[in-house]
Amino acid sequence: MASLVRPRLSGPIRDSTTCQASVCFRHPGYKDDINQLLLLPVLDSGGIDYDTAHTACAILAGNRWDGLLAEKANGEGVAVLEDRILRKQYYYFHVSNDPNVPTFAHWRFPHGDLPPLWRTLFIPNEPVDRALPRQSSTIQALFSRDISCRLTNYVEGTECAHLVPKSDITWFEQNNMSNYGKHSRADAEFIDDARNAIFLRSDIHKFFDDKRIAFVPKPSESLPSTSTPVVHVFIPGITNELIDLYHNRSLQELTGISIEYLFARFAWTVFDFLKPFLRHGQRRILSADWTLYS
């Protein structure tokens, strides 16, 4: 009689070491040993994607898409290579007369002024044949719209993941983010709108909330002048599993999700990496008349 026992799952191939290299983005107004704004892992062909890094720095400077990345504190902006990868160990982000924003709570959403690459991202509305009655819950709406985890395509173990977290509802309301929702339920909080949510497998949801991964646009190979949403790994972990499985991985088809909420989630992730800069113990000049002494 043949055995019904199946062999153990092998799991992903594990590298004993993680990627230790990183790119440091500095503030040109401080000494080099106290001016680290961001430290991002080298995961993109020996460097880091220019657009992801530039947008992250620009957000911290108050949405300064005109800012320049330079190799020297008083240098000119770098020439962007054809593959759009930054491969030096250190860069400075230059803007004129605009100090940094301290936290996500103080950041103001750039209504009508998303970064250039984000403007090329297109996410269609959900098909009419998937539409639910107006009184459907958020989870019902997601189950009808997404069906499976929008990264792994798994159906089991999926759950509702907010893009702008419910814990930041004050920021949501102060920045008029309800403008980007569908408002299908009069009795629901605007932050619970289906356009502000996505189906993710529970472990992916945790990585998302732990700010280890975010979703960013990267140029589409099949459609020129457009971009496609992919995973960007910010914190690899103790092995290379997240990198090997998900970094630069295209998402499953997205529909009915607000690009503005997706961008706000990216900013929410990035601000966590500013904490070492704020907590260094040095006097920092920040926006909104803030001066921080750590």
Q: What is the mean pLDDT of residues 96-106?
A: 82
Q: Residue 55: is its pLDDT beyond 90? A: yes
What integer is the mean pLDDT of 50-65?
95
Q: Are 287 and 98 in contact (CB under 8 A)?
A: yes
Return all residues near 281 (Cβ < 8 A) that are at least 6 apart. 294
The DSSP bridge partners found for residue 290 are 286
What does the pLDDT read at residue 223? 76
Q: Would you state the torsion angle of the CA atoms of residues 81, 82, 86, 92, taken in this order, to the nearest 10 degrees? A: 40
* Predicted local distance difference test score (pLDDT) of residue 128: 54
Average pLDDT score over residue span 115-138: 74
Distance CA 171, CA 161 (A): 18
Decide: helix, strand or coil at residue 147: coil
Predicted TM-score (pTM) of the model is: 0.90
